[in-house]
Structure 1
Amino acid sequence: MEEVKDALGSWGFFQIVNHGIPVDVLEDMKKGVLGFFEQDSEVRKQWYTRDRSANRVVYNSNFDLYSAPVTNWRDSFVCRMYPNPPQPEELPPPCRDILLEYSSQVMKLGCSILELMSEALGLEPNHLWDMGCATQLQVTSHYYPPCPQPELTMGITEHTDAGFITILQQDQIGGLKVLYKDQWTHVHPIQGALVVNAGDLLQLITNDKFVSAQHKVVANKVGPRISVASFFLTDLMTQNPKVLEPIKELLSEDNPAKYRSTTGKEFLDYFYKKGLDATPALTYFKI
């Protein structure tokens, strides 16, 4: 608990081993992602759309193509896996079975991490769960082709994540960097480990006790690089959405709320409209 508190209060990132997800599940997930992206483009394009609300399964390149200042050197495949996962036939055959299994395992792990985080904040173990911090699970698989001139582009631009927590599986090629004390530090891959990081909404509800750190992925001549990011999000329904605001138990006269109330939909709509850049979406919601 103390290690989680220290990591999220300073770096906003940590790596975990002994997390309970078997190594063969991790490896099969990477193989499934590779299998999807290395299909013929004629096969892949049946999943392609730029409308993120159109399907529970979305394939595209640069979701923020028309809003961000630059484009990135990677393609993405997004699946909304909880609470209403796609039917198996809605998922591409190369990763159909493993995506369902992997998502189930990651969901259990995320709930355990939320319990640890709640207790690290001095709250009841189910506090963050009850707030809706795991109401939705979005699994996004990234494919970074080998880049002939990596100095001219980025794998993913400097940014912060929008949700509560992200559980990331990266392969052994590396390239992920986190900003800590104004310096970029490599998050070196550890075999069998998973990376956990805080998102903007977690920083908002904890009133800066946990920080959503800037991070990026550099392009590489080696590849393809595969990563799988599982985003824990709030309810995005437009009817009766939960109001998100700094947790009252964490506030005091000396530590008043630093962010205004919002909903998950309002926050994510702004995040997607703005696109990925060095200015966190969270800045817009500061008091």
Structure 2
Amino acid sequence: MHNYNDPHTTSQRRKKEVKEFDESKMGVKGLSDSGITDIPKFFVHPPETFCSLKSSSTSTGIPVIDLSNVNLDSHRTKIVEQIREAAKTWGFFQVINHGVTVSVLNETIAAIKAFHEQPTEEKSKYYVREEGRGVMYASNNDLYRAKAACWHDSLQVWMSPEQAPAEDIPAVCRREVVKWDLQATKVADCVMRLLSEGLGLEAGKFKELTFSDARVLVGHCYPYCPQPDLTVGITSHTDPGIVTVLLQNQVQGLQVKHGEEWVDVKPLHGGLIINVGDFLQIVSNGEYKSVQHRVLANSNREPRISIVIFFNLCKWKGSGYYGPLPELLTPEKPAIYRDFTTQEFCENFYGKGLDSKSLIDKIKL
């Protein structure tokens, strides 16, 4: 006779269900399309995940920064100040008039959506669990590490320093993925110059430090969820790298933590969302803030599509270490973080489920 309340039995059963789901390669899109009305148990999050799910309506949303005329001295000073303020107080902002046409944004979203809408047998050719290189399509990169799974699937493509071979990128979105990497990198480089100036450094400092040379593109799909009050799209976390550039369709779901409140990020047509990663918080010696964000489970019939490029540094300092930039330190403002190695950085990210600020907490002085 099975004792269903025995934690060991429950854990074994959960492992088996997770493995079966993973091996089916159908992803949550497959579950959603099959017409289920109850989500599998391993997607159900504990009640404490939800006690703060109600967003606050008091806030107007994250700052919006207009980049037109960014190269005119008369405008640039003001834009640097706006970006510095947003990175300091919010850790998140939307940029408009960033130089990428709306048609390119729409094509990119359509291509990632087309990938996720292919039949399972087509997508499953790409279904693997090998992070850190090449192309990987899977549901939940931390499926086996997290306490509860989240309602999303992702296509992950490494763009740099070692770009995934073009023929490995799914044909349905190959051209758009390569093109988007170039366009998003231009925007990120422009924003990084502004962020660098905001710290009182040379505009090209971040580029010189290879802050945009390791890049991974992730195309998320958050399909319709029949029980959105029991699970989440992505749990609350901070991003590990320097900055993240996010392109999303018009289906809402992203929330950003601001002070003690969760703020809904309303999709802005033609806008791109930029956020500060843990690494930038550390190298800026706490000047810029990496903040928690999450995505709610999608209750719309239309899937939420978001395309994220994570920008990270490629060449570590000679000693293999990194920490706050020495130029930013003074006797009045000493380092608040110690140096750490690339190995610590990777182990911290790949060794557990998504979480927030755990690296920052470990290296705080």
TM-score in terms of structure 1 length = 0.95
Quote the Cα distance in structure 2 between the aligned partners of 1:264 and 1:25: 35
Pick from 285, 309, 315: which aligns with 1:207? 285
Quote the Cα distance in structure 2 between the aligned partners of 1:16 and 1:206: 21
Q: Note the residue ranges of structure 1 that are not aligned, 5 or more in a row.
A: none
- In the alignment, does 2:84 pair up with 1:5? yes
Structure 2 CA distance for partners of 1:11 and 1:43, relative to 1, 3 Å? same
Runs of 4+ in 1 over 6 A off after TM superposition: none
Quote the Cα distance in structure 2 between the aligned partners of 1:275 and 1:26: 30
Deviation at 1:242, TM superposition (A): 4.5
Deviation at 1:43, TM superposition (A): 1.4
Give aligned pairs, total: 285
Pick from 251, 254, 257: which aligns with 1:173? 251
Q: Which moved more, 1:98-107 or 1:276-285?
A: 276-285
In the alignment, what sits opposite 1:235?
314
Deviation at 1:247, TM superposition (A): 0.9
Deviation at 1:279, TM superposition (A): 5.1
In the alignment, what sits opposite 1:161?
239
In the alignment, what sits opposite 1:275?
353
* CA contact 1:242–1:264 (8 Å) conserved in 2: yes
Quote the Cα distance in structure 2 between the aligned partners of 1:244 and 1:209: 16
Q: Which has the higher contact order (CA 8 A, sep 6+)?
A: 1
In the alignment, what sits opposite 1:76?
154
Deviation at 1:173, TM superposition (A): 0.8
SS in 2 for 1:133: coil
In the alignment, what sits opposite 1:104?
182
* CA contact 1:72–1:156 (8 Å) conserved in 2: yes
In the alignment, what sits opposite 1:50?
129
SS in 2 for 1:146: coil
TM-score in terms of structure 2 length = 0.75
SS in 1 for 2:98: coil
Quote the Cα distance in structure 2 between the aligned partners of 1:226 and 1:241: 40
Q: Within 5 Å, give how 1:23-172 maps onto structure 2.
A: 23-53=102-132, 55-172=133-250
Q: Which amino acid aligns with 1:20?
A: G
Quote the Cα distance in structure 2 between the aligned partners of 1:26 and 1:47: 24
Deviation at 1:252, TM superposition (A): 1.6
Q: Within 5 Å, give how 1:248-267 maps onto structure 2.
A: 248-267=326-345
Q: Note the residue ranges of structure 2 that are not aligned, 5 or more in a row.
A: 1-79
Quote the Cα distance in structure 2 between the aligned partners of 1:199 and 1:241: 23
Highest Rg: 1 or 2?
2
* CA contact 1:206–1:247 (8 Å) conserved in 2: yes
Quote the Cα distance in structure 2 between the aligned partners of 1:281 and 1:47: 31
In the alignment, what sits opposite 2:37?
none
SS in 2 for 1:151: coil
CA offsets 1:216-259 (integer angstroms, 9 cap, x no match):
0001210311000110012289x967421101121122221111
Q: Which amino acid aligns with 1:118?
A: S
Q: Which amino acid aligns with 1:178?
A: V
